Amino acid sequence: MTDLIIKYLENTASDAERKELLGWLRDDIHYAEFCKIKETWMANVKKEELGRDLNEGLLSFKFFILNDLLEHTNKMKRLYKYAAVILLLILAGAVLYFGRGHNKEILLTSVFAGRGDVTSVVLPDSSRVWLNAGSTLIYPSDYGLHTRAVSLEGEGFFSVQKDKDHPFVVSANQVDVTALGTSFNVESYDRNNKVVVTLEEGSVKTVCGSDEKIQTPGTQVIVSNDKMEMIEVDTELFTAWHLGEIKFKDESLLNIAHQLERIYDVTINFASDSIKNYRYRGTIDIENPLIKTLDILQLSTNIEYEIDDKHILLIQK
């Protein structure tokens, strides 16, 4: 395989050989070997000989190879970091009265997924919630007794147990999503200034003010500036993250960078605005080391990168 790697680095490998190399690189051990060979090769190539040929060699993966990557890397990794910070917050002064004047303090449970983490939590009714990096879920101690109401900041995927007497309600940035028993994704990061509800199974009702939409599987509601729009989407592009992958289909490098910042707890900047609109199609395993993910992007887009601790600079070749 060393000869094939050298051919690739020298930009003399055929399309079939590049495809063979990409398949071989899916194994982490193979990727580590590739990195060693690449490092040795670059150290021994005279600087003046690098020129344009090296740049072309490093971006020579074709789009049809990326499609092959998309088709073959759809593995179901479910290794999550469950080390979320669980906090019990007592609502000061918030007292609810039940029955004959008895009162009861309501506790709020807050589940937080830090930057770089994906966290899973099982609610008292056995409904399950996955929280994407930088997200918070809050629910009361009497959850399920009268209502099943939760509050979300960030992004969560919900697998809701059926209970027709107690609808499940997610509140996110003045938008309420109501479900009986279903699977759906809610994205409500502050920086995006919108709420996006993607329905995978079942049915949900999304309400913002006096406007509402009833969703069916394969639809997405986007709420922005108090306006609601419902479109049909490939739900996997918006829900695969909770299974350990993020999938892109003609996605801008700017949006990809925002996701990578949350996943790896880094800051990504661009050397020029023009590369923010570069498009990418493929699949990234969120358990990959950051360097491997950046190498995949470098091989498939016209960029290179520099790393300084947790700061990444993307540069046009």
Average pLDDT of span 45-58: 46
CATH of domain 244-316: 3.55.50.30
**Predicted pLDDT of residue 307:** 92
CATH of 108-238, one of 2.60.120.1440, 3.40.50.920, 2.40.50.180, 2.60.40.10: 2.60.120.1440
Q: Is pLDDT above 90 for 183? A: yes
Residue 216's pLDDT band (cuts 50, 70, 90): very high
Cα 21 from Cα 119, distance rounded (Å): 34
**DSSP bridge partners of 98:** 102
Residue 114's pLDDT band (cuts 50, 70, 90): confident
Contact at 8 Å (CB) between 245 and 74? yes
More confident residue, 5 or 232: 232
Average pLDDT of span 49-59: 44
Listed by start position, the domains of the chain span 1-99, 108-238, 244-316
Is there a shared CATH topology between the 108-238 domain and the 244-316 domain?
A: no
Residue 205's pLDDT band (cuts 50, 70, 90): very high
**Predicted pLDDT of residue 62:** 31
Kindly report, residue by residue over 235-293, the tens digit of the pLDDT: 999 999 999 999 988 899 999 999 999 889 999 999 999 899 888 888 889 888 999 88
pLDDT above 90: percentage of residues in the chain: 38
CA distances in angstroms from 15 to 125, 154, 268, 301, 316, listed in the order given: 52, 41, 31, 16, 24
